Structure formats: structure tokens, C-alpha cells
Amino acid sequence: MPDGPVSNPADTSDEYPVTIDSAGKPSYARGARRPWWMIIAVPFIVLMIFLKNHVKNICWKSTLLLVLLFEFTLLFVEHNSVMIGHWVYNKNAIVGIEIWEIPIEEPLIYYLFPPVFVVMIFHLFVSHFERKRQ
């Protein structure tokens, strides 16, 4: 891969320059430093606390196993996508902490919350319909 700015082949402008570091990993930084991605997590955390107080019969060991399986699978896919340049994060829009070349926001917001929400919402509906049936 060439050093310096590399443009998307479909984009003829240099508006979104991607640089390649010495390890061959694409890097991208544009705009002011504003790591707002973690702010996205706040409503999810509030909703999870609300759901946890209303859903009582969740098997947390099974939920943890589900999350670990989800994380393990997606970390490999995400890492590969980042390393080949298919997926590039704007360094100015993330916190900066990375796990295996992946920003910390990715495993927290997209790999942790969705499976836990699915389990919580499933149990919420099941408990609702069980109460209705009685």
C-alpha cells in the first residue's frame, strides 16, 4: 500500500484522506476532536437499568455467554475489516482507547448492548404475557 493520503477509488476528491501507517493499517482523522460516540451509550445504559428493575428472571450466566460469543465472533470480523482498510474510524470522533485495533466504543455500544437488550426485552415480553395469562 502507498504511504500518505489514499482516496476511496469511487471518490475522485481528496476530501476524506486516509493515511497508511508503518504497519500497513489505514488511519483517518478529520474535523475537530469530539469523541461523542460514548455519549450514544448513555440512553442505552439508562434503559438497561430501567429494564433490569422490571425484568426479574434473566439467567445472567447465559446472557454473559451470549455476549462473550457475540464479542469473540465480531472482534475477529471487525479487526480484519480494519486491517484491510474496509472499515476506518475517524480518530477525532473516538475516545482513543483501542482493543486489537478497534475503538473501545465498538465492543461496548454495538457488541455488548444489542444481545443484552434482546435478552431483556424477550424476558419483559414473556413475563408480561405470563401475567396476562394468569
- Looking at the structure of the chain, the number of domains it has is 1
Strand partners, 26: 20
68-94 in b/e form (b: 16+ CB < 10 A) is eebbeeebeebeeebeebebbbbbebb
Question: Does the pTM of the predicted model rise above 0.85?
Answer: no
| Residue 57 resides in a domain | yes
13-23 pLDDT, tens per residue?
Answer: 456 677 777 77
Please state the rounded mean pLDDT for residues 73-97.
84
Q: Which is more confidently placed, 80 or 34?
A: 80
What the block records as the C-alpha cell of 8 is 476511496
| Residue 3 resides in a domain | no
Range of the domain at 53: 34-133
Amino acid identity, position 105: E
DSSP string across 96-124: S-EETTEETHIIIIIIIHHHHHHHHHHHH
| Residue 2 resides in a domain | no
pLDDT at residue 2, as a whole number: 45
| Residue 26 resides in a domain | no
